[in-house]
Structure 1
């Protein structure tokens, strides 16, 4: 590696060209086919072919049990917190088949479901794969549905919708309150740890023991259209939608990813990952990527929170992977820790091929720091990218798969999908999609399914995007908010709330945890601010609003700078209120994916919304 490689990126001229020259893996350049219709609609698709895909997830297990039987498939930290529990591909296939046989012996078929109430874990994964192996769909749920009493209505709703024949928890004592619900009275409950159970439960070891059942016959009936799982999206109401996820959707999506990033097949990849499996990205994208390439999944019990990050850092020092997936706050916390933790820095970047963020835009300052660390450790960069997709798309539809040297781009279509863009006068485009990785519909909900697709069969995502360069589709798209989040001021002017929120989060980085754009039927755009931890004192509050002078002044100053040179009432924040209470999980202000439920926040905090538009309120920040 030449000395020139180590020049700081901001001094290297064309950052994208510099990144291409210094990325460690071989990448496929973006190649997009564009079609412009007479009505203004734009169609995009990849120019790369989509290869053959496995008929079901069990196919991957059989392949690697034969080709790499001793390769570690899954590992999680032992209960003593020091050692590791590891399962090879040979062992994983054996245990999956044993669990599958136990389910068949109980009479479970493709018409039944299994609810998984607890979070990520090795037993959870074995049960999930065992059920998929014999065609029984699993319903992985956010653990807070069970652990937080106020969230039980959502759990009860999902149980009533899915009607499971079996339910699983990792610890019966910890989930005792949920297991005592009458909705589970006639459901067999299986627990990895049975101590403290409020009712009779079956030890998970009983399922692992297997049964005298024709597991091969059951597996032979599992094809691409067999339902593999039902993922309930949190949405903005108290009634989640069950996304029917087939084996085809998951297996096709992995081939789409491999076709976009062929370096995935160059070796057995590894990830150390915390992303929850009730969410499509953690449970379908990341888990299945390891199974498809014969990789190693290290289950990280940590999270990007003040309490959980120490666990993540310890796991990354000991078992860092070749691929890294995280949300922006997770990468920010890692970057901060690496400043003073050389062991973490060395372990993380030593063998890293891919650094992948999703969920929001990664601050460019964090991106630049990660590039610097990678150069210091490896002398080259991992491919640094993002993508876009939904639970309904299994998930990837758009993906960056070439070095671009910047944050904020969500990519180009992966092979096999077609994207329909419907632009407005400002070239902001509603995005709709069609392809083999798109869901067949919502579980037992014909009305919502019918509304989800347009007259041409494209899935209506509700998201908006923009071209990086309107004349060059190969440069990709950027996310521009949710069409459904947009609202009108009392002047009739539309506010693009999602795009404005992303801009505000960038401007207020370091001061805020999140924000809510307000102003529906009002004369001005206002802002609810959830302050970053440690920025506000409990003593300086007034009726649920923060009155910390220094924080108020800092936010006012940055918002004024953001407004400078911006014309139009729909793009200017003129007032803000800092909220003393963080987003409430119990109050359903936070979805199981960690995003804000804006409607619930505005409804639950209606009094604060009125204060936001009271010019005499002492907590009001006037910009």
Structure 2
């Protein structure tokens, strides 16, 4: 199969240290780094003034903003912020999802040195999640908050925590006392805008990004201009085709998350690309909008989570015209969030070969909100999913191997944060004695004898647990394995067994799939019972048990949960990730039932 020749070969140095740790670094030098995001905007407004930078759906077509128009509006908004006395200590809370006005406000704030703090729109739109929103407000103490539609967000805007905060909205509706976004676009000639821009340095905080809270309470990551600008140089070093021609994406990934808001957004800005905002999502009822958007515009790169690529693959199989348009100009297929199922990977490869005679670079990377995010990337073509590659330029990785050749990962580099907002204690705990950021993630070499073959993600150290026998269970990898074995019945699941004799699984079912399959479900105190469903789960667990050996991966029991994970209760983050500890704590009665062999809701392998 012919794969793209437009890639940078892996070249890393491995240093085995006397204390048993391993240092891994790239042999390539870090390229030139912009001083601040405003420098990118000025460059492309001069070099390609009429090229589309941002676009969003408007009626049957798109509202488009060119580089020169974005620069003009950013400067006007920046002047309005300065005239209000805003600066480094007056964050702007952005409560809405992706949109052009959201992007303009973010860039304007960065232009004059005012931090923005985008939070998940679900925190405002879901009544039960207002506690998360209130917590962010109390931490950040913003001077301004932005929503795209005041009527839509009216309940959240009524929170006492927002008293005294200027509310800005693109659509004011019937809400009293809201500043129209257009007012910011009038600017203010009384301020020295250029002087304020000149004072923005690489150390200036551009954004405060909230962590997901999947392992602890959300923290505010101080994201500096240096972090964002360095990371885009690192990405372009790894993906040389970004510099060959301006990239284009049709992208839904949320800007409150570092993947969508820093990685993808800034990739377009840094390389003179075009970002068409996809107002669809890979969920029922919204994915059709994504397909409509792709029928109008397709990209040179495709970013998505695995479930999104799975849905897209099925749609491309059914629509030959869309398939042709999607692949004909495609350089990159990039997945993140979890490992891409191999059958989806293979499906994209085969389609690409049919359409253009070669496979674009299919890849993933690894990083965290604290690392801006990309820190490792699979830069070479590969035939399998799940590899996150090697360190990017300028990064030093410290690996602490355990007995199973799995390594705890720590990192250092100019893309790594200096600390958490208003939390010196957690900042101190986040770094080791050598200044490496303690990620809490684990990796394993694809080939221990050749670090250039890359590494694969091997879960969170904190997710691992021991059985009473002393056997370690690598819960993250086991969860992925079980999701594959139980597909499509399970939408998600939690691995159990800490301080017990056996491993179990608590299953969040895909209710729509179960209904399509004709299972008659009965609720029983938080669990679901169904003889046919439990029989199918037993069959799959028993078949898997015959294929494996050892107690560290043997699933002996299962229970199906009737209630989906709750965002208000902290069981699920805004990104859709489970907080395993919260699930186990909140549903401790069901956990106890899981280990009762006589309980009718329990399926034994």
Bin of the TM-score, shorter chain as denominator length:
over 0.9
The superposition leaves residues 210-235 of structure 1 with CA deviations (integer Å, 9 ceiling, x where unpaired) of: 11221111100111000000001122
Match of 1:205 among 171, 178, 182: 182
Q: What does 1:1-16 align with in structure 2 at a 5 Å threshold?
A: none
Cα pair 1:535 1:551 within 8 Å, conserved = no
The Cα offsets for residues 306-343 of structure 1, whole Å up to 9 and x where unpaired, read as: 11100111111211110000000000000111121122
1:560 correspondence with 2:542: yes
> Is 1:586 equivalent to 2:568 in the alignment?
yes
Structure 2 gaps, min length 5:
none
- Counterpart of 1:283? 261
Q: CA deviation at 1:350?
A: 1.5
Match of 1:401 in 2: 379
Alpha-carbon displacement from aligned partner over 1:238-275 (angstroms, at most 9, x marks no partner): 73100000000000000001111111111111000000
Q: Does 1:163 align with 2:141?
A: yes
| Alignment match of 1:542 (pick from 502, 516, 523) | 523
Q: Secondary structure at the match of 2:146?
A: strand
2:74 equivalent to 1:68: no
Q: Work out whether 1:247 is the aligned partner of 2:225.
A: yes
Number of equivalences: 600
Contact 1:275 1:281 in 2 (8 A): yes
Q: CA deviation at 1:511?
A: 2.5
2:438 aligned with 1:438:
no
- Among 179, 184, 207, which residue is 1:229 paired with? 207
Q: Distance in 1 between matches of 2:540 and 2:50?
A: 56
| C-alpha distance in structure 2 between counterparts of 1:353 and 1:241, whole Å | 35
Structure 1: distance between partners of 2:484 and 2:514: 19
- Quote the RMSD (CA, aligned, Å): 1.3
Q: 1:238 and 1:408, CA in 2 relative to 1: closer, same or farther beyond 3 A?
A: closer
Greater shift after overlay, 592-601 or 528-537? Answer: 528-537
| Residue of structure 1 equivalent to 2:171 | 193
1:606 is matched with which residue?
588
Unaligned runs of 5+ in 1: 1-17
* SS of equivalent to 1:469: coil
Deviations 1:138-191 (A, max 9, x none): 000001111112111111111111110110000000110111111111010000
TM-score between both structures, scaled by the size of structure 1 = 0.94
Judge conservation of contact 1:154–1:238 (CA < 8 Å) in 2.
no
Shift of 1:469: 0.5
Deviates more, 1:143-152 or 1:472-481: 143-152
- The match for 1:465 among 433, 440, 443 is 443
Q: Which residue of 1 aligns with 2:474?
A: 496
Counterparts of 1:415 and 1:258, CA distance in 2: 10
Answer yes or no: is the 8 Å Cα contact 1:419–1:433 preserved in 2.
yes
Q: CA deviation at 1:502?
A: 1.7
State yes or no: 1:300 paired with 2:281: no
- Alpha-carbon contact 1:428-1:480 (below 8 Å) kept: yes
Q: Choose 311-320 or 57-66, whichever is displaced more.
A: 311-320
Quote how far apart the aligned CAs of 1:565 are: 4.4
Q: Which piece of structure 1 moves more, 352-361 or 499-508?
A: 499-508
Matches within 5 A, 1:23-34: 23-34=3-14
Take 1:28 and 1:38, find their aligned partners in 2: how far apart are those partners?
A: 31
Q: Which residue of 1 aligns with 2:16?
A: 36
Q: CA deviation at 1:237?
A: 6.7
1:519 maps to: 497
| Residue correspondence of structure 1 range 567-582 to structure 2 within 5 A | 567-582=549-564
Query: How much does 1:539 deviate?
Result: 4.2
Asked whether the 8 Å contact 1:430–1:464 carries over to 2, the reply is yes
Question: Given the alignment of the two structures, is residue 141 of structure 1 paired with residue 119 of structure 2, yes or no?
Answer: yes
CA distance in 1, matches of 2:281, 2:535: 32
Q: 1:85-104, aligned counterparts within 5 Å? A: 85-104=63-82
Q: What CA deviation, in whole Å up to 9, does each residue of 1:272-316 have, x standing for no partner?
A: 000000100000000000000100000001111011100111111
Task: Report the equivalent of 1:108.
Answer: 86
User: Which position in structure 2 is the counterpart of 1:383?
Assistant: 361
Q: C-alpha distance in 2, partners of 1:223/1:34?
A: 34
Asked if the contact 1:536–1:548 (Cα under 8 Å) also holds between the matched residues in 2, the reply is no
* 1:412 aligned onto 2:390: yes
Please give the alpha-carbon distance, in whole angstroms, between the structure 2 residues aligned to 1:66 and 1:23: 36
Contact kept in structure 1, 2:232 and 2:266, CA below 8 Å: yes
Aligned to 1:10: none
Give the C-alpha shift of residue 555 in structure 1. 2.5
Alignment partner of 2:513: what SS?
A: coil
Name the SS for the 2:514 alignment partner.
coil
Aligned to 1:532: 510
- 1:408 CA displacement: 0.8
1:25/1:263 contact within 8 Å kept: no
- The answer to whether the 8 Å contact 2:341/2:385 transfers is yes
Asked if the contact 1:96/1:126 (under 8 Å) is kept, the reply is: yes
1:487 is displaced (CA, Å) by: 1.5
TM-score by length of 2: 0.97
Which residue number in structure 2 is paired with residue 13 of structure 1? none
The superposition leaves residues 65-124 of structure 1 with CA deviations (integer Å, 9 ceiling, x where unpaired) of: 00000100010001x3x1210000010100111110110111101221000001111100
Q: 1:516·1:528 contact (CA, 8 Å) conserved in 2?
A: yes
Are 1:50 and 1:415, in contact at CA under 8 Å, matched by a contact in 2? yes
Per-residue deviation, 1:564: 2.5
Mean CA deviation greater in 536-545 or 400-409: 536-545
Q: 2:552 aligns to what SS in structure 1?
A: helix
